[in-house]
Amino acid sequence: MKEVSSTPKWVTDYYKDFRLKERTKCFKTCLKCGETKLISKFSVDKRNLDGRISICKACRSLEGLNYYYHNRVKMLIKNIEYQKNNKRDRSIYFKNYREKHGEQLKENASKWYLENKEAIKRRNLKYYQEHKKACLARRKLWIEKNKEKIKRYNREYKRKHKISKGAIG
Ligand SMILES: [Zn+2]
């Protein structure tokens, strides 16, 4: 085995210089489209000597789109399978977590809500105004889906209300 110290100084110097140049260069040529572009047009990748990936952002996003287009069914299935497989584990995890930290979580949530009440209201209102149509559609769908539940709830509410009214009057 060769010892590290046996490497001549001019080699290590050359290498150091080369690395410095690589790390400080302003332009890079894309391996895919062959265009020379500003270094900022390449995503950061610490594993590369110059700290950037070899394909420009434009080519990469195109690649990503292509990949998605050709594998969309596969990816969808994969996602669904992943969710199915992890649903149980995740729900058990959250259940345990909630049981363990329930009070703390409630406290945190209500504290957070009280502190941010106005901001939350504003955000919700803004979201509603920007997505009015979608919100209304979703609401309609929800009502349609929960018709029976709402009816039951209303009946229950009326019954309770009547009783308490009767008790007062
Ligand atoms: Zn490119």
Residue 112, judged by CB atoms within 10 A of its CB (0-12, 13-18, 19+), counts as exposed
- pTM, two decimals, is 0.38
Say how many Å lie between the CA of residue 23 and the centre of ligand 1: 19
- β-partners of residue 52 are 44
Going by the DSSP 8-state scheme, the letter that residue 54 receives in this structure is S
pLDDT for res 41: 93
Do 120 and 113 touch, CB atoms closer than 8 A?
A: yes
Q: 57-109 pLDDT, tens per residue?
A: 999 999 888 888 888 888 888 888 888 887 777 778 888 888 888 888 888 88
Q: 110-159 pLDDT, tens per residue?
A: 888 888 888 888 888 888 888 888 888 888 889 988 999 999 999 988 88
Please state the domain extents for the chain.
9-71, 73-151
pLDDT for res 169: 47
Domain 9-71 adopts which CATH fold?
A: Wheat Germ Agglutinin (Isolectin 2); domain 1 (3.30.60)
**Which residues does 163 contact at the CB level (< 8 Å), separation at least 6?**
none
Say how many Å lie between the CA of residue 63 and the centre of ligand 1: 10
Say how many Å lie between the CA of residue 52 and the centre of ligand 1: 13
